[in-house]
């Protein structure tokens, strides 16, 4: 990643340094630890390194002895882009830790926050975000995991799937139904330790081996103080978390796209075909020019959505959806074109682009598929204008 230029003039010197230093840390320090981990499993040494180098501290800031929930969405984007550029496994570990913890950070009571945040921020405890179910992915209103009142707490019964860091996480933010027939308004968020009696799970093998799995809740008891926010207020907790993280999913994609572009530029300068460098073929250079332009446009959309969030502009849902949609779609195009220009060499197992090709597919689905993002954008476009009151 290069230094200051007209393409990043909207960033401060500190923000440019954060992006560059994170990318370098990922490439030189985090990547070897990531490579030593087991595929598809939580890499605890990697999380510890993310904490030791201050990156988890950016997710979970502490001031005057209190944990703050006003995390900078733009800093989050810069860190995720830098990590994705240098080591996608480190990016995933960082992002999943944040996603699983943000419901606790924004809605947890003092007792559970003090019990879990120090360990999570130190990389000693792993967090998971448990929203999706076998029959309810993007349709949050269809969630069926039941939370029945039981004395001093609740009993959770049902299943979750596509859950981050499952089944190895030490604690999960779980969204369960407390009011039947109420759609999204009948959900409540809970903090559930991974060793709770009646909780079990298994890994899911994916195209790119992320630590994702299924969870089964068999009459799992959750104390009342482990409730995150108000009864039937879980949808707001989930949406605040996703609004915070959606632009940064786009940043994850941009980091991978930039890595693919840079790899292709280097290869096209060196590779000679039919007596001239690959870069001198207009089919290559113009296609890469178009992709680089679209990637920069997506980066600016991501940064704009994150900046709006940081400035307290609400809602940011449409802006976040636009950013995620454009960034993840163009990243897929960037990696695919880069493989095409490299030829068969990029299809080899272990090649950077082979790795990115498997990695880049997931963000078009994670945290709301591209089709859902288009629906969000369309609803905002065609929403009736707000009436101004005198």
Q: How far is 62 from 355, CA to CA, in rounded Å? A: 36
Query: Closest Cα partner for 249 from 359, 135, 137, 347?
Result: 359
Asked if 69 and 106 touch (Cβ cutoff 8 Å), the reply is yes
| pLDDT tier for residue 7 given thresholds of 50, 70 and 90 | very high
236-381: CATH architecture: Up-down Bundle (1.20)
For the chain, the maximum distance between any two Cα atoms, rounded to a whole number of angstroms, is 79
Tens-digit pLDDT profile for residues 31-66: 999 999 999 999 999 999 999 999 999 999 888 778
Q: How far apart are the first and last CA of the chain?
A: 52
In this prediction, residue 390 carries a pLDDT of 45
Asked if 226 and 153 touch (Cβ cutoff 8 Å), the reply is yes
Q: Is the peptide bond before 27 cis (omega within 30 degrees of 0)?
A: no
In this prediction, residue 47 carries a pLDDT of 98
| pLDDT tier for residue 389 given thresholds of 50, 70 and 90 | low
The stretches of the chain forming alpha helices (DSSP H) are 13-25, 31-36, 44-52, 55-59, 73-86, 88-107, 110-121, 234-270, 282-310, 317-342, 352-359, 370-381
Q: Return the axis-axis angle of helices 317-342 and 352-359, rounded to nearest 10°.
A: 150
In this prediction, residue 244 carries a pLDDT of 87
Q: Is the peptide bond before 315 cis (omega within 30 degrees of 0)?
A: yes
Asked if 247 and 309 touch (Cβ cutoff 8 Å), the reply is yes
The reply to whether 236-381 shares the fold of 128-232 is no
- The helix/strand count (H/E) of the chain reads as 12, 12
Residue 16: how many CA atoms within 13 Å on its side-chain side? 13
**Catalytic annotation present for 367:** yes
Q: State the chain's mean pLDDT as an integer.
A: 95
Single out the catalytic residue among 367, 371, 375, 388: 367
List the chain domain ranges.
6-125, 128-232, 236-381
128-232: CATH architecture: Beta Barrel (2.40)
- Say whether pTM exceeds 0.85: yes
Q: Poorest-confidence range of 153-162, 360-369, 381-390? A: 381-390
Instruction: Label the pairing between strands 127-130 and 171-177.
Output: parallel
Q: How far is 317 from 258, CA to CA, in rounded Å? A: 25
Tens-digit pLDDT profile for residues 128-144: 999 999 999 888 899 99
pLDDT at 283 over 90: yes
Q: What is the mean pLDDT of residues 346-369?
A: 96
Structure tokens belonging to residue 29: 């320090």
The strand pairing partners of 164, in sequence order, are 212
Taking CA atoms, 73 is separated from 107, 246, 306, in Å, by 18, 10, 5
Query: 6-125 belongs to which homologous superfamily?
Result: Acyl-CoA dehydrogenase/oxidase, N-terminal domain (1.10.540.10)
């Amino acid at each position: 990643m290069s230094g200051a230029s007209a393409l990043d003039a909207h960033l401060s010197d500190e923000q440019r340094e954060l992006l560059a230093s994170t990318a370098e840390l990922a490439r030189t320090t985090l990547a070897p630890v990531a490579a030593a981990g087991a595929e598809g499993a939580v890499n605890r040494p990697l999380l510890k390194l993310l904490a030791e180098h201050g990156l988890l501290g950016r997710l979970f800031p502490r001031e005057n002895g209190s944990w703050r929930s006003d995390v900078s969405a733009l800093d989050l984007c810069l860190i995720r882009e830098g990590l994705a550029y240098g080591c996608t496994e480190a990016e995933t570990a960082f992002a999943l830790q944040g996603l699983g913890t943000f419901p606790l950070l924004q809605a947890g009571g003092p007792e559970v926050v003090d019990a879990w945040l120090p360990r999570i921020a130190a990389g000693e405890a792993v967090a998971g975000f448990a929203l999706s179910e076998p029959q309810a992915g993007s349709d949050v209103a269809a969630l069926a995991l039941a939370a029945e009142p039981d004395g001093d707490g609740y009993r959770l019964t049902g299943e979750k799937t596509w859950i981050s860091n499952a089944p190895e996480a030490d604690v999960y933010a779980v969204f369960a139904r407390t009011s039947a027939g109420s759609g999204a308004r009948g959900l409540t968020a809970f903090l559930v330790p991974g060793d709770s009696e009646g909780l079990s799970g298994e890994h899911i093998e994916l195209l790119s081996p992320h630590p994702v799995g299924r969870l089964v809740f068999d009459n799992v008891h959750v104390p009342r103080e482990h409730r995150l926010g108000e009864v039937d207020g879980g949808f707001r907790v989930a949406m605040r978390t996703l609004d915070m993280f959606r632009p940064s999913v786009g940043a994850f994609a941009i980091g991978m796209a930039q890595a693919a572009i840079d790899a292709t530029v280097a290869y096209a300068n060196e590779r000679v075909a039919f007596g001239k460098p690959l870069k001198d073929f207009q089919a290559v250079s113009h296609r890469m020019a178009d992709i680089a332009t679209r990637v920069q446009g997506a980066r600016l959309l991501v940064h704009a959505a994150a900046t709006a969030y940081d400035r307290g502009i609400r809602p940011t849902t449409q802006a976040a959806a636009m950013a995620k949609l454009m960034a993840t779609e163009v990243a897929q195009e960037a990696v695919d074109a880069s493989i095409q220009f490299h030829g068969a060499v990029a299809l080899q197992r272990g090649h950077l682009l082979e790795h990115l090709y498997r990695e880049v597919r997931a963000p078009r689905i994670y945290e709301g598929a591209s089709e859902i993002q288009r629906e969000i954008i369309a609803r905002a476009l065609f929403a009736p204008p707000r009436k101004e009151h005198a």
